[in-house]
Chains A and B, each alone.
Chain A
């Protein structure tokens, strides 16, 4: 083989490799929009945080709002409920971790770590067992033994800080990321 034909072969191989590489780049570039279109749209993202006005909630009451397609519990606790939640020994809990998205993962499940302001308890209303929505106790209609929530699907019982106390659920009700915009308004998400 002469030097010229060897050069020729190299040039040809280079062109083939370059063509193949550019084809690969093109396919990858096309793949991204096709994948990304399945991610939440800007409409879904615009709903990824909600603002909840608190001024209409009386002590001892709560509301349920929709956040990211799931129920969100916002509860204004009575002093008794707070005291009851604080009296619990964290070590005795089935799930000793706070499960608060605003705190480190290993934060203990003290009542203080479950709230930002003691009076206000903000929880994702999704049972950590299999995703049902637990029901809240009221003075006339007590749910479970701990004065908090009872999940009717499989009987998980949560206390007045939303911590799991009895039943199959493995974790405390999740505290979503939220912040107080003012004394009477929070932003969740």
Chain B
């Protein structure tokens, strides 16, 4: 996609195709000879893993849609039929349900990795922003998907989330009603969520294409955060990274399988095994784990509208990181202050996640968790809006190596 192509068509068919639709050339240049920094570490394998996750979700999802019925009266029963009657239905559904959690686990590691090594900095801003867009689409898809089994948590989760829009002044309730297609979450809502849940993964796949395209123009960043200076700094993508990513992918699948086969309900909620009942709200409504930090941010703000704005801002702020970070150095390896602030940020996200999982009035060691969540929220926004620009200006980075090969050659 960038730089001179090294593709050399051999057979007649390849030559014929190359002058018409140069697909083999594209695959050759992007997946075969693509020069990749040779120092990519473990944290760089998650891009490949995420592609795998998307493929798994799409394939199992298409299969589930062959048996699922998006009708408020039938949905819950049709899912149970998948679990009990359809050949391997239980396997396919457990892979799909746990696959969502695996997908988010991988995407969070991928995002934190990008944050740590400064992969969002010039010339890779668009890769990052497209990534944020993918994350947003994933969140929407996961939300729609969680509604489909039509259990109690599906129903009440959908009710709570769609009620966010009612916080918008003047038109809020109209927007909620429009989303529902009724005066509350119901059959019409389920049917449209199914449609969107089926559509969005293909949109994600297309945007992932853009993400990878944008990656192949400047090439990979790397743990040192310095540019590739000579061919010595790189190895061809295949076989070096295909084999390496393949190995870690299999490890990831083992981890994935442990949940599918031995703890399939680990990420689930007992209330979702009860069919949706619009007349009874479960005692606690908890979103899926991957949304808990945002849920904590929402709840830490006592005003409905401001809470919803904070929730939106928490995701939106990610898109501005390329310009909020004023440092000239990419990798946190050479940023003594930022490194600490980064790890505080990771811990902060975990604390926010914990707060989101607990009841609103929970108290831990005498401290109300809502207070903890407020500090957590303050650090979350402070990290991006204050610390990133300021630390970049005042921090003295450690000296950078001359090239990717240098630290090794120098030994």
Binding site for B on A (CB under 8 A): 16, 19, 23, 33-34, 36-39, 41-43
Main secondary structure of the interface of B (DSSP, over half): helix
A37 touches B81 (CB 8 A): no
A37 touches B246 (CB 8 A): no
CB contacts (< 8 Å) of A38 on chain B: these are 66
B88 touches A33 (CB 8 A): yes
- Please give the distance in Å from B98's CB to the nearest CB on chain A: 15
A41 touches B85 (CB 8 A): yes
Main secondary structure of the interface of A (DSSP, over half): helix
> Which B-chain residue is minimally distant from A44 (CB atoms)?
B85
Q: Could you list 6 further interchain pairs (A-B, Cβ under 8 angstroms) beyond the known A41-B81, A41-B86? A: A33-B88, A34-B59, A37-B66, A42-B84, A42-B87, A43-B85
A-B contact pairs, 14 of them (CB 8 A): A19-B246, A33-B91, A34-B92, A36-B87, A37-B63, A37-B66, A37-B89, A37-B92, A38-B66, A41-B85, A41-B86, A41-B89, A42-B85, A43-B81
CB contacts (< 8 Å) of B84 on chain A: these are 42
Task: Indicate whether B243 reaches chain A with its CB closer than 8 angstroms.
Answer: yes
In the complex with contacts A19-B243, A19-B246, A34-B63 CB distance below 8 A: yes
CB contacts (< 8 Å) of B91 on chain A: these are 33
CA–CA, A36 to B89, complex, Å? 9
CB contacts (< 8 Å) of A41 on chain B: these are 81, 85-87, 89
CA–CA, A36 to B81, complex, Å? 15
- Please give the distance in Å from A22's CB to the nearest CB on chain B: 9
A33 touches B85 (CB 8 A): no
CA–CA, A33 to B86, complex, Å? 10
Task: State the 10 A-B residue pairs at the shortest beta-carbon distance, nearest first.
Answer: A33-B88, A41-B85, A43-B85, A36-B87, A41-B86, A42-B85, A37-B87, A37-B88, A37-B86, A39-B87
CB contacts (< 8 Å) of A37 on chain B: these are 63, 66-67, 86-89, 92
CB contacts (< 8 Å) of A43 on chain B: these are 81, 85
CA–CA, A66 to B34, complex, Å? 61
CA–CA, A41 to B82, complex, Å? 9
> Which B-chain residue is minimally distant from A43 (CB atoms)?
B85
CA–CA, A23 to B86, complex, Å? 27
- Please give the distance in Å from A73's CB to the nearest CB on chain B: 29
CA–CA, A34 to B243, complex, Å? 26
CB contacts (< 8 Å) of B85 on chain A: these are 41-43
Most buried by B among A16, A37, A38, A43: A37
CA–CA, A34 to B246, complex, Å? 22
CA–CA, A74 to B67, complex, Å? 33
| The residue from A16, A23, A33, A42 contacting B92, defined by CB atoms under 8 A apart | A33
- Please give the distance in Å from B47's CB to the nearest CB on chain A: 19
CB contacts (< 8 Å) of A16 on chain B: these are 239
Most buried by B among A33, A39, A42: A33
CA–CA, A38 to B89, complex, Å? 10
| The residue from B66, B88, B239 contacting A36, defined by CB atoms under 8 A apart | B88
> Which A-chain residue is minimally distant from B86 (CB atoms)?
A41
CB contacts (< 8 Å) of B243 on chain A: these are 19
> Which B-chain residue is minimally distant from A41 (CB atoms)?
B85
CB contacts (< 8 Å) of B63 on chain A: these are 34, 37
